[in-house]
Amino acid sequence: MSLQVEDTSAQSFTAAFELKGNAQTGELKLFTPFGGTLAVLDWQNGLARLNANGETRTFESMDTLIQQATGSVIPVAALFDWLDGRNSPVPGWQADLSRLSDGRLAARRSTPAPQADLRIVLEK
């Protein structure tokens, strides 16, 4: 998973990941390039948690948690749809599912600023 945010600080985030569940209840593990656990995000029943660096932080929504973990908002509900091959529309985002059969997904946020590119490569 790679996320590049096109702002003045040129933020980028890259991590291997393991995703389980669905938009309502799930877990996202993020790994360093060497296989160590960078963070574990989990959500259920209106509660979202971020476990990283030996600390657990709680958030009121998955969107807020994702923004804190990655530096940008990612439409989690649509992401599950996109990974299932359904191109669910999200205001400001354009998903490219044309290479999903090859294990590749790309999505671009044009609004609100700053623009962001999300790229996912799946293992087969």
Domain CATH for 81: 2.50.20.10
More confident residue, 69 or 10: 69
pLDDT digits (tens, 9 = 90+) for 29-68: 999 888 899 999 999 988 999 999 999 999 988 888 888 7
pLDDT digits (tens, 9 = 90+) for 76-112: 889 999 999 999 999 999 999 999 999 999 999 999 8
Distance CA 113, CA 29 (A): 27
> Domain total for the chain?
1
> What is the value of pTM for the model shown?
0.84
Distance CA 98, CA 88 (A): 14
Distance CA 8, CA 10 (A): 6
Q: Residue 9 sits in which domain range?
A: 2-121
Which residues, at least 6 apart from 55, have a Cβ–Cβ distance to it below 8 Å? none
Distance CA 75, CA 90 (A): 7
**pLDDT for the residue 18:** 92
